[in-house]
């Protein structure tokens, strides 16, 4: 571990303005961080904390460097990034919203899960909304989402929570049925801030709740809504995961999750030990 740290500190000293906004140096630094991960995709204990002390950079900055290297894994892709971005600030902004587009998510984790949560990359028919979603990640058609073999990964008695944009509610009901769940209720995320909208300004998001094998909720006193502020684009808040865990038993599987595998990651795998799958959950 210490030789890895020394190598990273050396790279850090070479990052300066002469290197087109410091992009190459940060990319090399990020690559070295990724190479220091163990077989499960995690950095050794204390590694990041020591790097913060030795370089004087924040955890967030070091995390951005690793994500930058993961997003642009080859020299050719780095060259593309250098031509595309004018500053490190722009890269950081793009990393916060853009996906590892086109990455193969691999198979859904093996096992039969008692609770499955999914936040699919729906395709919108509304052009403006579609453009907005597709700037952030590749989208899937209704047929592709419904065609995922989710039923095979659900326990005989199971719950599903399926996030669906209100404009696509009928599609959500179709997907829930295709995955082998009977629709039972809508969970509403209430957001204190006004959002966008074609008819009404959006302040809510909806998750369809479905049941397989007639399984009841663990706690019958739970409300059908929770309140939490908006996070980064399309991120679902911790309050949702907490509600799910109060209502439904494990093991838990989150489909279309985002996991960086880094120490500052707050995804359901890193925070709660859920199984995760998605093309931005590649370290899982
Ligand atoms: C709506 S976002 C999910 C955001 C997530 N709920 C969160 O809290 O961060 C949909 C995710 O599905 C991913 N995705 C898109 N196409 C995919 C595919 N074919 N297979 C797996 N994941 C895909 C996107 O890259 C994006 O990460």
Say how many Å lie between the CA of residue 219 and the centre of ligand 1. 29
Q: In which residue ranges of the chain is pLDDT below 70?
A: 1, 16-21, 40, 80, 83-84, 96-103, 125-136, 196-198, 233, 282-284
Encode pLDDT of 245-256 as tens digits.
Answer: 999 999 999 999
CB of 237 closer than 6 angstroms to any ligand 1 atom? no
pTM to 2 decimals?
0.69
CB of 137 closer than 6 angstroms to any ligand 1 atom? yes
Best mutation site among 109, 122, 280 for ligand 1, i.e. most ligand atoms within 8 A of its Cβ? 280
- State the DSSP string of the chain: -HHHHHHHHHHHHH--TTTGGGHHHHHHHHHHHHHT--TTS-PPTTHHHHHHHHH---HHHHHHHHHHHHHS-SHHHHHHHHHH-SSHHHHHHHHHH---TT----SPPSS-EEEEEE---BPPSSHHHHHHHHHHS--B-HHHHHTS--GGGEEEEEEEEEEE-GGGHHHHHHHHHHTT-EEEEEEEEE-SS----SSS---EEEEEEEEETTPPPS-TT--SEEE----STTPPPHHHHHHHHHHS-S-EEEET-B---STT--SHHHHH--EEESTB-TT-
Nearest CA to ligand 1 atom 24: 137
CB of 235 closer than 6 angstroms to any ligand 1 atom? yes
CB of 105 closer than 6 angstroms to any ligand 1 atom? yes
CB of 254 closer than 6 angstroms to any ligand 1 atom? no
Which CATH class, in words, describes the domain spanning 113-277? alpha beta
Say how many Å lie between the CA of residue 165 and the centre of ligand 1. 14
Encode pLDDT of 108-138 as tens digits.
Answer: 999 999 999 999 999 875 444 444 444 467 7
Domain range list for the chain = 2-97, 113-277
């Amino acid at each position: 571990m210490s030789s890895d740290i020394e190598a990273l500190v050396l790279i850090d000293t070479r990052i300066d303005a002469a290197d087109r906004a410091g992009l190459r140096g940060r990319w090399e630094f990020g690559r070295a961080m990724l190479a220091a991960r163990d077989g499960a995709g995690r950095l050794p204990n204390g590694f990041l904390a020591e790097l913060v002390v030795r370089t004087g950079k924040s955890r967030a900055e070091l995390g951005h460097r690793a994500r930058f290297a993961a997003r642009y894994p080859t020299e050719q892709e780095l060259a593309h990034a250098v031509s595309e971005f004018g500053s490190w600030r722009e890269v950081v902004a793009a990393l916060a919203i853009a996906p590892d587009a086109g990455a193969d998510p691999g198979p859904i984790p093996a096992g039969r899960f008692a609770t499955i949560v999914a936040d699919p990359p729906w395709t919108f028919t509304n052009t403006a909304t579609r453009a907005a979603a597709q700037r952030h990640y590749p989208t899937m058609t209704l047929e592709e989402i419904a065609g995922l073999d989710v039923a095979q990964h659900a326990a005989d008695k199971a719950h599903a929570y399926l996030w669906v944009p209100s404009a696509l509610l009928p599609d959500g009901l179709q997907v829930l049925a295709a995955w082998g769940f009977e629709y039972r209720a809508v969970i509403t995320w209430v957001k204190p801030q006004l959002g966008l909208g074609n008819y009404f300004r959006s302040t809510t998001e909806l998750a369809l709740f479905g049941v397989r094998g007639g399984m009841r909720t663990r706690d019958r006193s739970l409300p059908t809504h929770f309140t939490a502020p908006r996070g980064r684009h399309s991120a679902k808040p911790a309050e949702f995961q907490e509600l799910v865990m109060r209502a439904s038993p494990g093991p838990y599987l989150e489909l279309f999750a985002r996991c960086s595998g880094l120490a500052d990651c707050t995804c359901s795998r890193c925070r709660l030990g859920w199984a995760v799958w998605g093309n931005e959950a590649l370290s899982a």
